[in-house]
Amino acid sequence: MNQIDLKNRRILVTGGAGYIGSHVVKALGEAGAEILVYDNLSTGNASAVLSGRLVVGDLADTVLMKKTVESFRPEAVIHFAASIEVGESVSRPLKYYRNNTVNALNLLEVLRACRVDQMIFSSTAAVYGEPELIPVAEQTPLDPINPYGASKMMTERLLADLSAADPDFRYVALRYFNVAGADPQSRIGQDYKNPTHLITRALKTALGVFPQLGIFGRDYPTPDGTCIRDYIHVDDLATAHLVALKHLMDGGDSDIFNCGYGHGASVAEVVEVARTVTGVDFKIVDEPRRDGDPPELVARCQRLRTELGWQPEHDDLAYIVKTAWDWELELQKRQESAG
């Protein structure tokens, strides 16, 4: 059991009203932290902030951001705020470099001016591109194949260079693999206008939101021909942020960790679990391969366990899908009652 005491520790969370950010805010609140969320609500929801206080603001607004940091005086920052859709990043690259790299630079300049010296950075396995060796270790060369991954890689470089120049500044970058699931009590979960994640789209297809679910390629060099991904429950990922934060607060060095379970499930396997959990034999259609989809993407993630003491509690695909399904049903109820 991961028991982390952050009582009265002041933590600023950028993007804390979003899917992953809100689950980390929930975990911080349960650990006793004092939390301030800074979010422009472009994709997040104020109702998802279960703990702390929300300031509605953009990272491009450096005046408001500096005023917020000076007033709150955080000991550390967890930085989520970013644009995350791979396909959109290809068609709108400038948006991604502005939101993910330039705004990270804005944040770092404010933190430097206010002498905030600890950051947890929300990074991604997209920095690896299409790695040749599976599972993917942290020392794998970075070779992103889209602007989303490249913009996150550039922010990692900003952090590394700043830490090298100023030893007082320390950070942990967490490279997420495929995040899924929801709060077991269905208070929060994934709530995007245009969901692209496989599990969410499968469940919305079961609900009738989408008429069918596309499977992009069945001719990959995998056991069933469909892509394999490493799915991690969002609550286990939230715990990874807390153990990384504790690492920094205990004086630990800057570092980078993969976040996954170290094994994968294929698209076809996810579809079957979704059908079993929902009880709906929803329609699937075969689509051509998408550019940039590696056959398999699985994390080598032992370091997070051995060096930070992270202990995942929800390494079960059926549990992941069930919590996501319960959230979808709750979300549907909320939408029906609202209108």
Task: Encode pLDDT of 291-330 as tens digits.
Answer: 778 889 999 999 999 999 999 999 999 999 999 999 999 9
SS3 291: coil
Give which of 33, 38, 74 is closest to 54, Cα–Cα: 38
User: Which residue is catalytic, options 19, 148, 176, 231?
Assistant: 148
CATH superfamily of 198-228+263-332: UDP-galactose 4-epimerase, domain 1 (3.90.25.10)
Order across the sheet with 228-229: list the strands. Answer: 265-266, 228-229, 296-297
Give which of 72, 78, 125, 91 is closest to 297, Cα–Cα: 125
Residue 254 has pLDDT above 90, yes or no: yes
CA 118 to chain centroid: 19
**Whether 38 is catalytic:** no
Per domain, the residue ranges of the chain are 10-180+232-259, 198-228+263-332
What pLDDT, on the 0 to 100 scale, is given for residue 87?
A: 84
Residue 145 falls in which region: left (phi positive, over 0), alpha (psi -120 to 50) or beta: alpha
Give the C-alpha separation, 278 to 124, whole Å: 29
CB-side neighbour CA atoms (13 Å) of 337: 6
Beta bridge partners of 257: 174
What pLDDT, on the 0 to 100 scale, is given for residue 299?
A: 97
What pLDDT, on the 0 to 100 scale, is given for residue 291?
A: 76
Please state the pTM of the whole predicted model. Answer: 0.96
Give which of 278, 281, 270 is closest to 328, Cα–Cα: 278
Q: Give residue 83's pLDDT band: very low, low, confident or very high (50, 70, 90).
A: very high
Kindly give the interhelix angle for 198-207 and 267-278, rounded to the nearest 10 degrees: 40
Query: What average pLDDT score do residues 113-135 get?
Result: 96
Q: What's the CATH code, domain 10-180+232-259?
A: 3.40.50.720
Query: What average pLDDT score do residues 188-209 get?
Result: 92
Q: Give residue 1's pLDDT band: very low, low, confident or very high (50, 70, 90).
A: very low
Give the torsion through C-alpha atoms of 79, 84, 89, 93, to 10 deg.
-20
Which positions ≥6 away from 8 have C-beta within 8 Å? 32, 33, 34
Give the C-alpha separation, 60 to 308, whole Å: 33
Query: What average pLDDT score do residues 25-34 get?
Result: 97
- Count of H helices and E strands in the chain? 11, 14
Give the torsion through C-alpha atoms of 136, 138, 141, 143, to 10 deg.
70
Give the C-alpha separation, 147 to 87, whole Å: 9
Give the C-alpha separation, 95 to 88, whole Å: 9
For the residues of 88-105, what is the DSSP string, one character each? HHHH-HHHHIIIIIIHHH
Asked if 277 and 325 touch (Cβ cutoff 8 Å), the reply is yes
pLDDT per residue as tens digits for the range 138-191: 999 999 999 999 999 999 999 999 999 999 999 999 999 999 999 999 999 999
Residue 211 has pLDDT above 90, yes or no: yes
| Mean pLDDT score across all residues of the chain | 95
Q: Give residue 2's pLDDT band: very low, low, confident or very high (50, 70, 90).
A: low
> Which residue has tokens 């549907």?
332
Beta bridge partners of 76: 11
User: In the chain, at which residue ranges do the beta strands (DSSP E only) sit?
Assistant: 10-14, 34-39, 53-56, 76-79, 118-124, 170-176, 178-180, 213-216, 228-229, 231-233, 255-259, 265-266, 284-287, 296-297
pLDDT per residue as tens digits for the range 33-61: 999 999 999 999 999 999 999 999 999 99
Backbone angles phi, psi at 30, to 5 degrees: -65, -25
